Structure 1
């Protein structure tokens, strides 16, 4: 049963828009209202931290019985993992033409965009002086630090890559929506940017999809590996220092992101009545990918713990014992159980050549329980146990302020997602893929050369900006480990990456100019 539409005389939104776009039923409104209350609670919680200081949180000084990184950093890693999984699904679908994933590519990319926003807010919540962080990090980020890659590639480049993809991929559907509404036709016409659904346009769309997906996947693997290096290259921090840190981060990110996309896709399928669009075949593929990724991570987890328990130094062994048989053991074994159980269930489902959407959703929820707890176990125990110096063993328990802030941040992400599903179709429309054009396209050689020239100029400008900004940030030819030669060079690096990504939009958006009624395609 569809949701009722809120109307107001002649000012109402046309009912012809697909997938409930522009129609706000009572369930949607009630959910948004609840999320707004949670956001308000999060703001109130964080306000206590700003008013009274970190003393109202569970964070304390390392070596003095506490941990300076806690729930905020744990959830920063979690949200970035969600973004990784969403983009991986989107890029793999276009790189390898996985048609069963096409219905959820836009959904997965939206999950990625929202997750990056939440990750950035988590970083701001963790900083004692967030305004100073917002000013100094863009001005003085140093390439020798993994935080440079975390700031420029994750918060900057991956967010923009996902946003560019979302805009270009939605042009065809925007053109369809523009014909079904009068009130917001201008909005959809702007988004469509002259889309005519010609064969030449669709060919350019496929080319841009392929190359943008390849660039996005490469950027994301590098960026998330860099996030692993933040922990893995700290030789003075037992439990973090590990050659497996980067691959462990990447694999668990793919697992948790896939699990979240499964849950969101199932919710969209049920509440938005998309059973014909998001079929069982989609969940079958996601379920198989999930159990394979989970088994790979279990292998890495076993290698990590066995090495730390039997072949590491005393400090590393102390951290491993605290995790597997000490203060953090209950959390660790819950992680193991919530990874083994879904992997086993999905593998049995694979052997029986069947697919239960309910079982797949449960598996997606369980792996994310494991991911949240494991991120906590990565961040905290190395700060409270296994000190190289003669410091006492510490403890860390998040306070209600931290829980409230994280709940508020999560509610912000959910709120953005729910608003977006009312602005454009969450699943690509079938009719936007049907050509109404002539069998051949009219094209102008001059327009074709102009497109290639502007594309090349945009791409080369972006790459040159990246190289120059990176060199300025790294102080090549001068003293290392100092401030960038040009303050703001890290932002200039992000600008270069964004310009490079926009070259795909330049290539796709320049329209064809007719020359003759019938001519060769572009």
Structure 2
């Protein structure tokens, strides 16, 4: 994003750091406008598909009585997976005091909030009629894993939003005080959201305490959301799902996908917002190493997931494994395992490939593999029920998403990117204020005053 600052903005920034991290809010490049326009085109395309689905019903999709979950649920599981990146950075790395991850914390929180919003919306799309969601709440049945998922997704969304918002209070106060040339609606937005923040040491201490509580709270909730999502599959009697391995399998896969999307976001933000001083090659090196570690863990659970059924090859489980290994889904399955898992692990072991551009390309392979992996988790299992499929139309035997499904799917990713783009454009994407240094300096000055 090119930055052409007005004289007023150039004068009000009191440090190079403020100028670097806030200037994107005050300027809008042509590249940014084109990007928004392209995303809006995809959104409109999806809305047309969704209108047809509302008008004619789910018959416009390829879902039928047997393949009752399609590409929508694949998207749901994928969005839930990448939302785990918020807890990875805001909780695990932050509580372990990994200072190198600090510039990436807000990016991860923005991705987490955006992903979980899209996950919730895509579930409503999958229901066919949106009013059915209110029936789920009205006729709540705690025996149903679907209700568990609704509760935990709502909880995770609230905590993720609070993690993002509370940690941003000092920077919101800074935007309120510094950005005097922005439009009136932005000034009002910053004034409301800043909540009378005035850089008081007492406020900083309270902020630290709240952030620590939220960072601890989000971790079990994050693990719960992915475990409960896996239970939606594990409690349904289908080949490939009837496994106690699904919980850790989903969690490990979510960590891997989350690390990959952070690297992708780092690359775009570094290149298009000129933040190479803050998102350095060292960050890409460390994130690539972390991605290798998480991919190895996920590879272990993949072996556990398929080795047992492949060794026994009993009944419908055997048919399901055969379909994946050498059947219709074999090309996709092996591309996912090799191109989206094994190959990235090998490539990222070499230091030259842990630089920004190679790491970005490899992470894109991981993300593509992660999405197709969710497709393979959902679709093949449904096409091999324990009761044989007999006396039905040919369309019931296969699942090929219709253009309406693809349109809504592409639109969901466009919405995801739009939410991220909006948040990155309105707010500082890297924390401007350094709370530890501020508290330390104020504590020292306070002790000096006491001595005097």
Counterpart for residue 393 of structure 2: none
Deviation at 1:434, TM superposition (A): 5.2
Counterpart for residue 345 of structure 1: 347
Distance, in Å, in 2 between the alignment partners of 1:271 and 1:83 is 23
Distance, in Å, in 1 between the alignment partners of 2:200 and 2:442 is 5
Deviation at 1:422, TM superposition (A): 1.9
Deviation at 1:441, TM superposition (A): 5.6
Distance, in Å, in 1 between the alignment partners of 2:283 and 2:145 is 36
Counterpart for residue 78 of structure 2: 78
Deviation at 1:432, TM superposition (A): 6.9
Distance, in Å, in 2 between the alignment partners of 1:413 and 1:14 is 35
Deviation at 1:440, TM superposition (A): 5.7
Contact map agreement 1:141 1:147 (CA 8 A) in 2: no
| Greater displacement, 253-262 / 172-181 | 172-181
Contact map agreement 1:3 1:26 (CA 8 A) in 2: no
Contact map agreement 1:4 1:26 (CA 8 A) in 2: no
Q: Which runs of 5+ in 1 are unaligned?
A: 443-516
Deviation at 1:169, TM superposition (A): 0.6
Contact map agreement 1:232 1:240 (CA 8 A) in 2: yes
Distance, in Å, in 2 between the alignment partners of 1:14 and 1:165 is 32
Counterpart for residue 356 of structure 1: 355
Contact map agreement 2:62 2:400 (CA 8 A) in 1: yes
Q: Does 1:206 align with 2:208?
A: yes
Contact map agreement 1:441 1:518 (CA 8 A) in 2: yes
Q: Does 1:423 align with 2:426?
A: yes
Counterpart for residue 175 of structure 1: 173
Residue 229 of structure 1: which of 217, 228, 231 is its match?
A: 231
Q: Does 1:91 align with 2:91?
A: yes
Q: CA 1:377–1:15 in structure 2 vs 1: closer, same or farther (change >3 Å)?
A: farther
Aligned counterparts, 1:466-505, within 5 A: none
Deviations 1:236-255 (A, max 9, x none): 21111101111111111111
Deviations 1:126-168 (A, max 9, x none): 11222122x11222232222212211112x1111111111111
TM-score between the two structures when normalised by the length of structure 2: 0.89
Aligned counterparts, 1:90-489, within 5 A: 90-133=90-133, 135-154=134-153, 156-182=154-180, 183=184, 184-234=186-236, 236-311=237-312, 313-338=314-339, 339-349=341-351, 355-385=354-384, 387-392=385-390, 394-430=397-433, 435=438, 437=442, 439=444
Q: CA 1:204–1:346 in structure 2 vs 1: closer, same or farther (change >3 Å)?
A: same
TM-score between the two structures when normalised by the length of structure 1: 0.77
| Greater displacement, 258-267 / 87-96 | 87-96
Q: CA 1:164–1:430 in structure 2 vs 1: closer, same or farther (change >3 Å)?
A: closer
1:439 counterpart SS class: helix
Q: CA 1:376–1:327 in structure 2 vs 1: closer, same or farther (change >3 Å)?
A: same
Distance, in Å, in 1 between the alignment partners of 2:410 and 2:335 is 22
1:21 counterpart SS class: helix
Distance, in Å, in 2 between the alignment partners of 1:122 and 1:148 is 16
2:178 counterpart SS class: coil
Deviation at 1:429, TM superposition (A): 0.9
Alignment RMSD: 2.5
2:361 counterpart SS class: helix
Which protein has the bigger helix share? 2
Deviations 1:345-379 (A, max 9, x none): 11233xx8x84122211221111111111101110
Deviation at 1:53, TM superposition (A): 2.3
Deviation at 1:269, TM superposition (A): 0.6
Number of residue pairs matched?
Answer: 431
Distance, in Å, in 2 between the alignment partners of 1:80 and 1:13 is 41
Counterpart for residue 511 of structure 1: none
Contact map agreement 1:49 1:401 (CA 8 A) in 2: yes
1:347 counterpart SS class: coil
Deviation at 1:15, TM superposition (A): 8.0
Deviation at 1:201, TM superposition (A): 3.2
Distance, in Å, in 2 between the alignment partners of 1:189 and 1:437 is 25
Deviations 1:317-365 (A, max 9, x none): 111111111111111000111211101111233xx8x841222112211
Contact map agreement 1:59 1:70 (CA 8 A) in 2: yes
Contact map agreement 2:3 2:23 (CA 8 A) in 1: no
Deviation at 1:212, TM superposition (A): 1.0
Deviation at 1:179, TM superposition (A): 2.1
2:349 counterpart SS class: helix
Contact map agreement 2:85 2:258 (CA 8 A) in 1: yes
Distance, in Å, in 1 between the alignment partners of 2:163 and 2:46 is 31
Q: Does 1:61 align with 2:65?
A: yes
1:179 counterpart SS class: helix
Deviation at 1:41, TM superposition (A): 0.6
Distance, in Å, in 1 between the alignment partners of 2:344 and 2:301 is 17
